[in-house]
Amino acid sequence: MFIRHLLLKQFVYLTKQLHSKFDKIYKNQLLYKKIPNKYKEILNRNLQFKNLHLHKRALVVVNGPSINTQRLEKFENDIIFSVNAFYKHKNISKLQPKYNFLLDSNLFNNETIKSSLFYDELLNTLPNTIFFLPLFRGYKSVIKNNILPINKTFFTAMGGDENGELDFTSIIPSFHGVGAYALSAAIYMGCNPIYLVGFDHDYLANRGKDHHFYQGSTVSIDNKQVLTLGDRIPYDDEMLSNYYLWQNYRYLLKIACKKGINVFNATNGGYLDIFDRYDFDKIS
């Protein structure tokens, strides 16, 4: 009787393990089936970007203060993936990004859209840039408020599992930082090598201010600075989010290696330790 009990217990355990593994493998497919057809048509637009820049050098630049110490102009003829308010860079006329990524929910709320100049400044300084936004967070805002040109704005469906492939026409993982989002696109488009700059990731040590290469907040509401990260999100919540972001980076490194893509962290300093370091000054 005792042996039968042990065997039954082992069977239940193995069944649960198998079920969990099945969920991880097929989660993305199951989620995709639940997406309305109109959204699937939106995602299908992304197919044109698959391996679009195969073997082309790319720069993924986020807005850490360290980029003020680097001459980014050496990349002006390369493919640049930027995020959020990179348009504030002093040499933006030479450093026009091919793609710009928005992720933070604060960028899609009514206050930002109606009471700030963020989108006016974004479009005025980046007239030829293509934009990527999260589908479930940004699509309705774009359509309802006409904040970005729909013919140059593309959307991705997040919420998938990191065991799946990186497919912009289906479900992709939830990214916990806009830099990871931009990097995922560079990988999807087949860029190689990919250099990362501005990935300082030192905001946990600088909670009392918006820590970017530019002064002040990313978004100003009626000439008032918005709340800093420390005012908006408890420290332990931000630590947990940072953990998930690091897992995002590990997933992207795995995908890049599988595709034979080299990703180098050329940030001047910073805490990101997932990707091999590369001296920015030695990039020719």
The percent of residues in the chain predicted with pLDDT above 90, rounded, is 66
All structural domains of the chain with their residue ranges: 1-34, 38-282
Q: Which of 70, 32, 282, 73 is nearest to 156 (CA)?
A: 32
User: 138-152 burial string, b = 16+ CB within 10 Å, else e?
Assistant: bbebbeeeebbeeee
Strands 220-221, 58-61: pairing kind = unpaired
> For residue range 213-260, what is the model confidence (pLDDT) as tens digits?
898 888 877 655 555 556 667 888 888 889 999 999 999 999 999 999
Query: Strand runs (DSSP E) across 62-186, as ranges?
Result: 79-83, 99-101, 130-134, 153-160, 171-173
> For residue range 96-126, what is the model confidence (pLDDT) as tens digits?
999 999 999 989 998 889 888 999 999 999 9
Give the predicted TM-score (pTM) of the model.
0.87
Are 175 and 241 in contact, with CB atoms under 8 Å apart?
no
The secondary structure element, H or E, covering residue 219 is none
Who's near 188: CB < 8 A, 6+ residues apart? 49, 50, 166, 167, 168
> For residue range 159-174, what is the model confidence (pLDDT) as tens digits?
888 887 899 999 999 9
pLDDT band at 3 (very low <50, low <70, confident <90, very high): low
Instruction: Tell me: pLDDT of 15 over 50.
Output: no
